[in-house]
Amino acid sequence: MSTTVDTAFAPVTFSEGAAKELYKLKDQQEIGDDYGLRVGVEGGGCAGMNYILGFDQRKEGDQEFQIDGIRVFMNKAHQMYLMGMMIDWQDGLNSRGFTFVNPNATSTCGCGTSFSA
């Protein structure tokens, strides 16, 4: 059973740059409509938890969101760690890639992909 939740209730948001880059990646890699962007967390990293960000198919326990026209999958258990997070895209001389602005993180590591809550 597919449940799509309105964007207003989505736990994460994308900056304009992140949304643009995600559309670009999906198009360049010819990712089909049966895939969505998986946003989540996993144990590991220097601060205790790593962010998950990548295109994937829907799995058991996922909730689906439409955020800025992007199909997003997130395991319900991960929402408490990610609620209110903004995913941004940096394209500068010193850094290039997705960054995570997470109000739930009590500490982050230098690489920006690991945090503790």
Distance from C-alpha of 17 to C-alpha of 28, rounded to nearest angstrom = 16
CB-CB contact of 74 with 38 (8 Å)? yes
pLDDT given at position 3:
56
Distance from C-alpha of 100 to C-alpha of 91, rounded to nearest angstrom = 14
Three-state SS at 87: strand
pLDDT given at position 14:
97
pLDDT given at position 67:
94
In the chain (117 residues long), the average pLDDT of successive 10-residue segments reads: 58 96 96 95 76 94 93 93 93 83 74 56
pLDDT given at position 1:
45
Measured distance between the N- and C-terminal CA atoms of the chain, rounded to whole angstroms: 31
CB-CB contact of 14 with 82 (8 Å)? no
CB-CB contact of 7 with 69 (8 Å)? no
pLDDT given at position 48:
75
pLDDT given at position 91:
87
